[in-house]
Amino acid sequence: MSVRDHGRAVLVMVVDHSGSVPGVTGTFVVVSEKGVAGTIGGGAAEKELVDRALVHDGEPGLVPFRHTPSEGGTLCSGLQVFAIISLTRDDEKTIEEIVDTLAKQGLGTLELSRGGIRFDAGVARQRRYDEEDGGWSLTEPLGLLDTLYIIGGGHVCLALSRVMATLPFRIIVLDNRSELPTMAANNHAHEMRVIELDTVAEHVEEGERSWVVIMTFGHIHDRQVLEGLLGKSFAYLGLMGSEAKVRQMYGAMKADGIATEDLESVRAPIGLSIGSHTPEEIAISIAAEIIAVRNRRDEKCPRSASV
């Protein structure tokens, strides 16, 4: 929603939250008389904040909203704190820089405070919210901070790419087959690479922002890729396959001297147990597990196969 096209607009962003609420920190809407873009979770809170935004003409401020369960209404029970900031033509350059950075799949940091909005392109600092001495500020990283590496570009990869493209992940597909039809049809991934599978470790960056799923053509290639990545640090490392396949592969790997504790770091079979069979169903189960891990990093989703 352009300030130039819509005149006065108001940004409403969740700057802090606790408990069970519909919109978490970082979610936002932009409101003008011509429409609303984005969401802060819907329901009573969004309605109230949109109504406030339509008449807001003061300095940037904070609006707390406490959710309480009500009969026939919301079951949410928690607190959201909203920043409400009028956007003017003076903010056009900042907004255009944000839009341009995100369109180029870049990173940046948005800062909100009583002074308005500010954006630093090229660096993504950690989220931080402060309230002291009558002032407040939110530092919010923007862009695709997390990268999903899908190793194996077949039908499930295509379906998973389609699902994950709706989430804040940069998607990189790796495969050793240069003329694979599903690779050619995949216009959801941000990058496609044809590689030799024994060099996979050179193409997958370690760290808490890296998510890896292995779904190559056949268990021989799966094992080759898995051995190349074992012992490295990732937010998530998963292997697709049946329970029987995983047990057989792990048994052979342990017989060859691979430590059980290394194999225990892998989520296999990959995905939540929802009785999935088709590529689309399997993709949803994998995406659901990744979301679960991402939203509570200190917990492990249950695995079906024992190592």
Rounded distance, CA 281 to CA 262, Å?
Answer: 28
The 10s digit of each residue's pLDDT in 101-160 is 999 989 999 999 999 999 999 999 999 999 887 789 999 999 999 999 999 999 999 999
Count other Cβ atoms within 10 Å, centred on residue 271: 25
DSSP H helical ranges for the chain: 3-6, 43-55, 92-103, 155-164, 181-184, 219-229, 243-255, 260-263, 279-295
Indicate the residue type of 248. Answer: Q
- What superfamily in CATH does domain 146-295 come from? NAD(P)-binding Rossmann-like Domain (3.40.50.720)
Q: Which two tokens stand for residue 188?
A: 């959801």
Confidence at residue 77, expressed as pLDDT on a 0 to 100 scale: 77
Instruction: Using CB atoms within 10 Å of the CB of residue 285, give its burial: 0 to 12 exposed, 13 to 18 middle, 19+ buried.
Output: buried
Confidence at residue 7, expressed as pLDDT on a 0 to 100 scale: 65
- Is residue 53 left, alpha or beta, with left meaning phi > 0 and alpha meaning psi from -120 to 50? alpha
- Residue positions counted in the chain: 307
C-alpha distances out from residue 188 to 29, 212, 276, Å: 25, 17, 22
Q: What is the 3-state secondary structure (H, E, C) of 237-255?
A: EEECCCHHHHHHHHHHHHH
Confidence at residue 301, expressed as pLDDT on a 0 to 100 scale: 46
CB 146 within 8 A of CB 211: yes
Instruction: Single out the residue of 36, 291, 294, 293 nearest to residue 166, CA to CA.
Output: 291
SS3 for 18? strand
pLDDT tens for the chain, residues 1 to 307: 445 555 679 999 999 999 888 888 999 999 988 889 999 988 888 999 999 999 998 889 999 998 877 645 555 678 999 999 999 888 999 999 999 999 998 999 999 999 999 999 999 999 999 988 778 999 999 999 999 999 999 999 999 999 999 999 999 999 999 999 999 999 999 999 999 999 999 999 999 999 999 999 988 999 999 999 999 999 999 999 999 999 999 999 999 999 999 999 999 999 998 999 999 999 999 999 999 999 875 445 444 443 4
The 10s digit of each residue's pLDDT in 225-255 is 999 999 999 999 999 999 999 999 999 999 9
Domain boundaries, the chain: 3-142, 146-295
Mean pLDDT taken over the chain: 89
Confidence at residue 137, expressed as pLDDT on a 0 to 100 scale: 94
Confidence at residue 263, expressed as pLDDT on a 0 to 100 scale: 94
